[in-house]
Amino acid sequence: MALHGDNVPARHSPGRREGNPFLGLANPALENEIIPPLNTLSQHPVPPEVAYQLVHDELLLDGSARLNLATFVTTWMEPQAHQLMAESVDKNMIDKDEYPQTAAIENRCVAILADLWHAPEADVATGCSTTGSSEACMLAGMALKRRWAARTGADPSRKPNLVMGANVQVCWEKFCRYWDVEPRLVPVEGDRLHLGAEQAVAHCDENTIGVVAILGSTFDGSYEPVADIAAALDELAASGGPDVPIHVDGASGGMIAPFLDPDLVWDFRLPRVASINTSGHKYGLVYPGVGWAIWRDADALPKELVFNVNYLGGDMPTFALNFSRPGSEVIAQYYTFFRLGFEGYVAVQQASRDVATWLAGEVEKLGPYRLITRGDQLPVFAFTTSDDVTEWDVFAVSRGLREHGWQVPAYTFPQDRTDLAVLRIVCRHGFSRDLADLFLHDLTSVTTTLQKDVAKVGSSGPTSFHH
């Protein structure tokens, strides 16, 4: 080594880098000297500890997932699930020839869901995993459109339409726009805040590819009357009208009703239900993102939509909008099915519903609020301010709760009920009775502060805050 002065090693030139870039010097001040790249890549690598710490520190600015009462998405899983996901995150879900056991586990999950939803032949069920319910809905919508085209002769002069409540998740409006289908959004009105049977039938005609019924509206957690809608469509077909299938969007309720509402008929027990989707990453109790689409039988999924792909040495059928994605979420879904079993799911979902109904009742007792739903369907409830509260609104409450760390959305209902603005609480696994009690304490504090502000200055709002 070249020396200079008093046997001090010569320094490297500033622009020179030597050795393995994955091995960094132990400089305790290094992370304070580095600015993360914003728009372009940095010129040089940094030690892994530095990269981790800086990214980790930036993420501290996010809200706490466990205090996010807006999201339906799972925010807690067991350490063993974390480990399995880490071990399988490098498996490409599409490559079923190279990862045959992951593919077999996906098929097991499909069969389990088909059995829960009373498919006629659950052991040979037709279905697939997806990145979430949005993709699953797109696939189900495509199948409905192809089946309609086969029934009607695919006359290019005819415009297909899809009937659904105005309260549907935006993925259905995306489907209609992307696949050139007319969305027939049935307005909400009065106390009917989701799709009703009479209204669904009134919007159907010979060009209707299907009716979407939601088992668990994201606006208020209520179930749409799937059986009543099916009965009304049966009558329509029997009287010479169009024979319209149903798709059940069970993004949340598809993993609640089988365990807590076994006598509720909403699934493949209704012959008119052609397909069902759910989000494994919601009440399926898995981290995002995984969803599932299941069809009644092979006939409900047109064969021309399924591709046989020769990929990496194997010929495999695939029906998806995405191609490569990690197998970890599917593995996590299977772990949760295996870990909990039927009785375990009953216990977990019942605990969430118990928290929701208890908290809803306590909110009602506060006085200034009126419940829209009570958490007795999805473990979700919505509430608004009482008629005599005129000086502040739900948006002010949402803003106040955020100051305590709680993320609670405030929003208006769809067209024709935009006068109704609500707060919505989603009770998931991990939102315990203890956390619910702490939330109630903070809600009481925020409410008291708003009332005191009104007494002092005459008005505390409304605020423009909108979650």
State pTM to two decimals: 0.89
Distance CA 309, CA 318 (A): 7
Q: Please report, for residues 56, 69, 160, the alpha-carbon distance to residue 380 in angstroms, rounded to integers and kept in the order given.
A: 32, 10, 34
**pLDDT number for residue 254:** 98
Q: Please report, for residues 81, 168, 227, 459, the alpha-carbon distance to residue 187 in angstroms, rounded to integers and kept in the order given.
A: 42, 11, 20, 33
309 Cβ neighbours under 8 A, 6+ residues apart: 315, 316, 317, 318
**pLDDT number for residue 163:** 98
Residue type, 281: H
How many other CB atoms are there within 10 angstroms of residue 8's CB atom?
A: 8
CB 245 within 8 A of CB 226: no
Instruction: For the chain, give every domain's residue range.
Output: 1-62, 73-467
**pLDDT number for residue 25:** 52
**pLDDT number for residue 123:** 84
Distance CA 451, CA 220 (A): 26
Buried b (16+ CB within 10 A) or exposed e, 203-220: bbeebbbbbbbbbbbbbb
- Select the CATH number that applies to the domain covering 73-467 from these four: 1.20.1250.40, 3.10.20.30, 3.40.640.10, 3.40.50.300: 3.40.640.10
CB 272 within 8 A of CB 231: no
| Exposure of 219 in the CB half-sphere (CA atoms within 13 A) | 26
User: Which residues on neighbouring strands pair with residue 425, listed in sequence order?
Assistant: 381
pLDDT in tens, 162-180: 999 999 999 999 999 999 9
pLDDT in tens, 288-314: 999 999 999 999 999 989 877 665 555
Low pLDDT (below 50) residues in the chain: 1-5, 8, 10-16, 23-24, 459-467
E strand segments, 166-280: 182-186, 208-214, 246-249, 273-279
pLDDT in tens, 248-260: 999 999 999 999 9
**pLDDT number for residue 3:** 47
β-pairing, 380-385 with 369-371? antiparallel
User: Which residues on neighbouring strands pair with residue 8, listed in sequence order?
Assistant: 4
**pLDDT number for residue 29:** 63
How many other CB atoms are there within 10 angstroms of residue 2's CB atom?
A: 5
**Cis peptide bond prior to 258, omega within 30° of 0:** no
If you average pLDDT over every residue of the chain, what do you get? 90
